[in-house]
Amino acid sequence: MAKNEDRWGSDLQLLRNLERQNSRDRDNDLLTQVRTQTQQADLALLHGADNLRQALLLRFLTPVGELAPLGHPSYGSRLFELIGELNSDTNRNRAKLFVLQALAAEPRVKTVRSVLVSQDLRDRTCMNIHISLTPVDSDTLLNLVFPFFLERGITP
């Protein structure tokens, strides 16, 4: 019988920082690692909880409709509608709604425990989105922080 984390899958590692990733780093997203057995380079893989974290971050970083030509018209999030807007209570509430919509579409999420959106105290153009959820087939909470910048081209 498969362990619970095995049910969350495996995939190529596309994001460098699963804790505070905020952009797709397009055209530079295949990472490599050295295999311990052979000392040969290979594509980096993620498994279990790390794979689920990456899947969620990729969903948040992808505008809804971007993958429509590939047959996935509803994949992604609406967070990009907030770019250029003020970091106000209203827009932080909109960000929370957009995150909840994206999480509802992810089949590996059983329940969302909380989504908190706060203004970054060091950068007024940044919202910090704190997510706590329970994955399918697990009682262990998965937590992640997703910084979202309201201006294009800003990275930490």
In order, the DSSP letters of 61-123 are HSBTTTTGGGT-TT-SBSGGGGTTS---HHHHHHHHHHHHHHHHT-TTEEEEEEEEEEE-SS-
Contact status, residue 86 vs residue 149, Cβ threshold 8 Å: no
Rounded to whole angstroms, the Cα distance separating 61 from 22 reads 7
Q: Is the model more confident about 143 or about 22?
A: 143
Instruction: Find the mean pLDDT for residues 37-44.
Output: 73
Nearest CA-CA partner of 54 in 21, 31, 79: 21
Q: Flag whether pLDDT at 156 surpasses 60.
A: no
* % residues pLDDT > 70 (the chain): 74
- In this structure, what are the phi and psi dihedrals at residue 57, rounded to the nearest 5 degrees? -60, -40
Rounded to whole angstroms, the Cα distance separating 150 from 156 reads 13
* % residues pLDDT > 90 (the chain): 47
Q: Is the model more confident about 107 or about 97?
A: 97
pLDDT band at 100 (very low <50, low <70, confident <90, very high): very high
The pLDDT mean for the chain works out to: 83
pLDDT band at 155 (very low <50, low <70, confident <90, very high): very low
Q: Where are the alpha helices (DSSP H) in the chain?
A: 48-61, 89-104
CA distances 16 to 21, 31, 45, 135, Å, are 7, 8, 12, 22
Q: What is the CATH number of domain 10-21+40-149?
A: 3.10.450.40
Q: Flag whether pLDDT at 36 surpasses 60.
A: yes
Helix axes 48-61, 89-104, angle to 10 degrees: 130
